[in-house]
């Protein structure tokens, strides 16, 4: 059975940091989407999702991340993914065509300063 978990690493009023670990495929993608959305129940300024603990991510998992990026963009919430260099999830994200609606960062890079631009 495909298992994954979403943990809230830190949750202040502005910046929400989540960590996803395990595997995401078509068996659990819908459930993971719900988990992520329910973890973002407040209105933070930015959301960071750390995928360092993710050992497998296929296109079903990519789809939920890209959907999440769309939703957060509409809400003007900054979104970044933290993905180790050379990891399989990172290669899959880059292969699928990395969307411009989020920032991709490695675990060793410092987070970007939060800036919200008015449209």
Partner 1 sequence: MNHPRPTVSHDTQADTQFEIRLDTDPFWLSPLRAFVTDLAARADFDDVTAADLRLAVDEAHSTMITAAADGEDVIGRFALAADRITVSVELTPSPFPARRTVPTDTFSWKVLRGMADEVELVPDGVHSTLGIRLTKAKAGVRLRRW
Binding site for partner 1 (CB under 8 A): 1-3, 23, 25-27, 56, 58-60, 62-63, 66, 86, 88, 91-92, 95-97
The nearer residue to partner 1, 36 or 90, going by C-beta atoms, is 90
Q: Which two tokens stand for residue 42?
A: 């407040």
Asked if residues 25 and 60 have their Cβ atoms less than 8 Å apart, the reply is: yes
The nearer residue to partner 1, 16 or 64, going by C-beta atoms, is 64
Task: Give the distance, in angstroms, between the CA of residue 9 and the centroid of all CA atoms in the same chain.
Answer: 13
In the complex, least distance from residue 62 CB atom to partner 1, rounded to whole angstroms: 5
- Distances from the Cα of 72 to the Cα of 16, 45, 49, 85, 93, angstroms: 12, 10, 12, 24, 18
The nearer residue to partner 1, 47 or 65, going by C-beta atoms, is 65
């Amino acid at each position: 059975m495909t298992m994954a978990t979403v943990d809230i690493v830190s949750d202040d009023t502005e910046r929400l940091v989540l960590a996803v670990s395990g595997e995401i495929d078509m068996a659990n993608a819908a459930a993971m989407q719900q988990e992520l959305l329910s973890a973002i129940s407040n209105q933070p300024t930015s959301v960071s999702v750390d995928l360092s603990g993710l050992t497998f991510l296929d296109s079903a998992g990519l789809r939920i991340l890209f959907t999440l990026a769309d939703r957060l963009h509409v809400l003007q919430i900054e979104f970044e993914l933290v993905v180790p260099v050379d990891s399989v999830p990172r290669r899959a994200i880059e292969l699928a065509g990395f969307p411009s609606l989020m920032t991709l960062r490695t675990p060793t890079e410092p987070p970007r300063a939060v800036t919200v631009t008015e449209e």
